[in-house]
Copies of this chain bind each other. A is one copy, B any other.
């Protein structure tokens, strides 16, 4: 009848564990995230940490969900008010580049890192990462398709091709920042996006 911790306190603890986990996993990876280290950093026991999730895999899935919330708040939401089609696609790309430039996650894009870590290991974590990317590509593809339909991009442009190339630009930027600490890369990424999203009729000869 009188739990030692209130529901609010338990939720606060859970949130604190997830915040710390996102920060650690961003740099060390979702496997490098260990219960023991997490417990020590939070001044808790290992079983105290694990009790909130049940298993390491469940913790990893919760961390992924938390990271997705941050990503959507940083990249998708700022673009939502923009006009659908080419304008929104450009705003999305700018928010995406800015998210990497500002190092919202200290280890770079959380999902790109998770994709590389888990693409060779079947399981729930891999499936979750894959479905996040698919959802994101659908979102971008929808805007690219609208831009083509509205005549803002050249007729015959394949929206999925555009999304593929934009994803590549962002991955190259993430790589340049994280591995080389290259600050000029953001300007390169912006230039590449600009070229790729040049409106119909404005292409240079």
Mark A residues whose CB is within 8 Å of B.
26-29, 31-32, 106-108, 112-113, 115-117, 119-121, 129-130, 133-134, 160-161, 164-165, 167-173, 175-176, 178-180, 185, 188-189, 191-192, 201, 203-205
- B residues near A191, Cβ cutoff 8 Å: 161
- B residues near A28, Cβ cutoff 8 Å: 120-121
In the assembly, what is the distance between CA of A191 and CA of B204, in Å? Answer: 19
- B residues near A172, Cβ cutoff 8 Å: 164-165, 167-168, 171
- B residues near A108, Cβ cutoff 8 Å: 119
In the assembly, what is the distance between CA of A188 and CA of B26, in Å? Answer: 30
User: Contact between A133 and B164 (Cβ–Cβ < 8 Å)?
Assistant: no
Copies of this chain in the oligomer: 2
User: Contact between A133 and B180 (Cβ–Cβ < 8 Å)?
Assistant: yes
User: Contact between B116 and A112 (Cβ–Cβ < 8 Å)?
Assistant: yes
Q: Is the interface of A mostly helix, strand, loop or mixed?
A: helix
- B residues near A119, Cβ cutoff 8 Å: 107-108, 178-179
Q: Other than the known A107-B120, A164-B188, what 18 A-B pairs have Cβ atoms closer than 8 Å? A: A28-B121, A29-B117, A31-B32, A106-B120, A107-B119, A115-B178, A120-B178, A130-B180, A134-B180, A160-B188, A161-B188, A161-B191, A164-B185, A165-B188, A168-B171, A168-B173, A171-B175, A201-B205
- B residues near A168, Cβ cutoff 8 Å: 165, 168-173, 192
In the assembly, what is the distance between CA of A28 and CA of B170, in Å? Answer: 24
Contact of A179 among B106, B130, B164 (CB under 8 A): B130
In the assembly, what is the distance between CA of A165 and CA of B173, in Å? Answer: 9
User: Contact between B107 and A179 (Cβ–Cβ < 8 Å)?
Assistant: no
30 A-B pairs with CB atoms under 8 Å apart are A29-B117, A106-B120, A107-B119, A108-B119, A112-B116, A115-B175, A115-B178, A116-B116, A116-B178, A119-B178, A129-B179, A130-B180, A133-B180, A134-B180, A160-B188, A161-B188, A161-B192, A164-B176, A164-B189, A165-B168, A165-B188, A167-B175, A168-B168, A168-B169, A168-B170, A168-B171, A168-B173, A171-B175, A203-B203, A205-B205
